[in-house]
A and B are shown apart, each in its own frame.
Chain A
Amino acid sequence: MMNEQRREFIKKTALGVFVGLGAASGLVPAFSLEKTALPVWDEKPVPGKIRWGMLIDTRKCKEGCQQCVAACHHEHNVPAFKNRREEIRWIWKNSYKNVFPTADNAGASKEIQSRTFLSLCNHCADSPCTQICPTGATFKRWDGIVEIDYHRCIGCRFCMPACPYGSLSFNWQDPRTAIVDPVTAYPTREQGVVEKCNFCSDRLIKGLQPACVEVCPEQALVFGDLNDPASDIRVLLESNVTMQRKPELGTKPSVFYII
């Protein structure tokens, strides 16, 4: 009888030691809910002071490389639905004809027309999606980012046809079922909301570059403040011939391409 109790005691102690050590060393995850990250800016931002923009040097962009797409989709818990109708995309590669459908092809060589180009939300200065949104869920931020406030989105999908670039995706079903490798640092979306690229506003607040820019092995992506004449992006924009998508619509995209 005595021995039996002792045996139980040893068993339980060993288990306790294991669990305790595991918790202390991080083997058993301790509390890890979206950690409070200290923002770079602690003051309320001044509207209109910054306008974030991106320059994509498509000459450097490697054919077949999907690192930016993977990094973005991993970082933001973007679900991987295989079905094209339910696909969620924040950034993806597309053909010349689909990215620049209204560009005059007379000057574009065969080589250019056969390449693929990154497409993402253009964060337009004059954005049709924010104008059409009936609840104000899609809105223009103080720093030029077109953001979706998922708290307000009612899933009416007006923004989807309003966007001339097809940058928005709708969550037809619960996205949590299709997130391959979830990260705890960023929330997911829910069924019935529209989502798109947020120019990594979650990383900018920590003083980091967007995930796609950071991960690009060719440094083909440049991110910066379009209102700052000394920024890298402005210098490159002034010294190169660049292109925007469908400029004739007057949406004033913040994403530029070097072809």
Chain B
Amino acid sequence: MKSRKLLWLVTFAAISLFAAFYLFSNGEAETPQKPLARVSVVDSTKCIAPKEFMRANHMQVLHGWERSVVRDGDRVHIASNGSRFQKSLGTCLGCHNNRLFCFSCHSYANVKPKCWNCHLSPMETQ
């Protein structure tokens, strides 16, 4: 009996929380985004290159991205099949959003890349 009461209480709390946050987040979503001129279509549903290539060469790809974005301001990556991606760690990790995506391999291979000394690692954001 006691647990049934508790369950009702919890359900009520959950629904009211949900309603409150639904309204809250809806309000945020409704604020119109400032229209950006000449925005490229960024396709983040696909990988930029085949898995095998990325496994062996992701560090060169990322280093190339870092160099061309910071030094030349060239922010758009055009893949071999013509799809466009923004050169950003967020582009990779937006899709590969398992928080252990980077770390599981790196710890197995005992490599310590310095990305997360400055950039926020997926481990810190979750």
Instruction: Report which A residues bind B (CB closer than 8 A).
Output: 6-7, 10, 13-14, 17-18, 21-22, 24-27, 29-36, 38-45, 139, 141-143, 147, 149-151, 184, 187-190, 205-207
Contacts and interface: CB of A to CB of B under 8 A. Distances in A.
Interface in B86-119: 86, 88-91, 93-94, 97, 99, 114, 117-119
A9 B90 CA distance: 38
Given A34-B90, A45-B73, A147-B70, A26 B11 contact: no
Contacts of A6: 3
Contact of A21 (B14, B71, B99): B14
B34 A36 contact: no
B14 A18 contact: yes
13 contacts: A10-B3, A17-B11, A25-B21, A26-B24, A27-B17, A29-B125, A33-B89, A34-B119, A39-B86, A44-B72, A147-B70, A149-B71, A205-B75
* Ranked 10 nearest A-B pairs via Cβ: A25-B21, A42-B40, A190-B117, A36-B90, A14-B10, A44-B74, A187-B118, A45-B73, A187-B119, A31-B97
B91 A24 contact: no
Nearest to A39: B75
A166 to B, nearest CB: 24
Nearest to B33: A38
Given A14-B7, A36-B42, A149-B71, A31 B126 contact: yes
Interface residues of B, number: 47
A13 B14 CA distance: 12
Interface in B34-78: 34, 36-40, 42, 44, 66, 70-76
B77 to A, nearest CB: 11
B81 interface: no
Given A10-B6, A21-B18, A189-B118, A184 B125 contact: yes
Contacts of B114: 190
Which applies to chain A's interface (DSSP): helix, strand, loop or mixed? loop
Nearest to A145: B73
A152 B8 CA distance: 58
Given A36-B94, A41-B73, A190-B117, 4 more contacts: A31-B94, A31-B99, A38-B42, A151-B70
A33 B122 contact: yes
Nearest to B22: A25
Contact of A187 (B7, B44, B94, B120): B120
B25 interface: yes
Given A42-B40, A150-B118, A184-B125, A17 B22 contact: no
Contacts of B6: 10, 14
Most buried by B among A14, A141, A150, A190: A14
B34 to A, nearest CB: 7
B26 to A, nearest CB: 11
A187 B37 CA distance: 26
A176 B14 CA distance: 36
B40 A38 contact: yes
Nearest to A32: B125
A33 B36 contact: no
B30 to A, nearest CB: 15
A141 B73 contact: yes
Contacts of A184: 120, 125
Nearest to B18: A21
